[in-house]
Chain A
Amino acid sequence: MKRLTEQTSLLFIIILMVSSFLAISCQTEIAENKDADSPKSINSFIITSALNSGQGITSDCAGVFNGNSISISVPFNANVSNLTPTFTLTGQSVKIGTIPQLSGVSSNDFTTILTYTVYASDGSSRDYDVNINGNALGWIGGGSNGWKTGAAPFRQPNDYQSFNQAWYAFVDSSGNIYAADTGNHRICKWNSSGTALGWIGGGSNGWKTVSGPASSGTDYMSFY
C-alpha cells in the first residue's frame, strides 16, 4: 500500500513537471511572437561634443551597430563615467533596468557595458549592449600590411610581415610597435598604420625587409 502511494506521488510529480514545462514553453512562444510583431529598435546612438564637451568629448562620437551591440570609441582622456548620449528610437520607451532614459538628458557611467532595453507599445522589448571603449580594432601580421579584422593567421613563416610566436610587444611615443619575434630570432618594427618597417638581428646591422634570418646566432648582432 505504501509503495503504491509512493508510485502515485511520483507519477503526480512527473505530470506536474511536464505540464509546467509545457506552460513555460507556450509563454515563451507568445513572447517571441510579440517580439517579432512589434517594431522596437535604437536607430542611432551618438555622444555629442555639444552635450559632453565638459567630459573631454571634442567631436561627435557615433555608435557602430552590430546586431544588438553598439560600440563607441571616444578620446582616451574623456571621462566616460558621466556621459549624456543622444539617440533615436523606434518604440515606446527605453530603460536601463527600471530607470527610464531620455535622449540628450539622461547621463550614465559608461565605464563598463550598459544594457539599454527598448520597449514597444505592446510591452515586448529588445536589449542593446552599449560599450564605450574596449573596442577591438584589429591585428597585424599574417604576411601583409594593415590592421586586419579576420581570423588569426596561425602560421609561423619568417617573411618580414609575419610573426612566429611574438611573445612581447612594446610601443614608442610615436606609436611605432616593436615585437620580440621569438621563433624568428628577431625584433620587428611596425608603424601605427600597421605597415611593417623591417626587422633587426640575423648577424648584420640595419632594418631588413627580406625573409629571415636563416637561423639563430650567438654573435652580438644576432638573437637566439
Chain B
Amino acid sequence: MTDKEQNDILEQWLAQYKSLIFKIVRSYAFTAMDREDLFQEISLQVWRSVPSFRGECAVTTWLYRVSLNTAIRFSQRERKRSENRADLNDSHQILLEADAHHDQRLEWLYGEISKLNAIDKSITLLMLEDFSYREMASIVGITETNIGVRINRIKKLLIEKSKKHDLHGV
C-alpha cells in the first residue's frame, strides 16, 4: 500500500467517523493542548493501522480499538510537556473548536465520564455507542460477563449522580 492510498483512507475515515474520535479525545484529555496531542497521536496510530485492516470487523470497531488503546496509554504515560509545546508551536492548530451548541447535560456527562478510571471510561464510551456485549468484549479483551457487571455498575452510578445533579445542581 502506498503512502497516498494510506492517507486517502485515513482522510475518508476521518471525514466519516470524526465524531467517534472527538468523543474519545474529549473523554481522555482535558486541556486544549492535551486534546490536540491525543488527536494527533490517535490519527497517527489509525494511519499506521490502515494496512492491517482486513475488513474482518466494522470500521467503527476497528477505530474504537485503535483509538481507545492509544487513549488509555496516553492517559497513563508521562508526557513531556515542553516537547509537546514545541511541536505545537512548530505547526498550525489541527483541532479547531466548532461553533456548536453547548448542551449543559452533555458537559455534565463528559464531566462524569472523566472521573471514571481509564478502563471504565472506555466501556462507557462503547456502551453509549450501542456496541453489543460481544463486540465490547472483543475490543477490550475481557469476558462478556465482566463487561455486563461493569456496565451495570457504571449505569447505576451515572443515574444516581444525575439525580443528585438534578436535585441540587451539583
A and B found bound together:
no
A residues apposed to B, CB below 8 Å: none
B residues apposed to A, CB below 8 Å: none
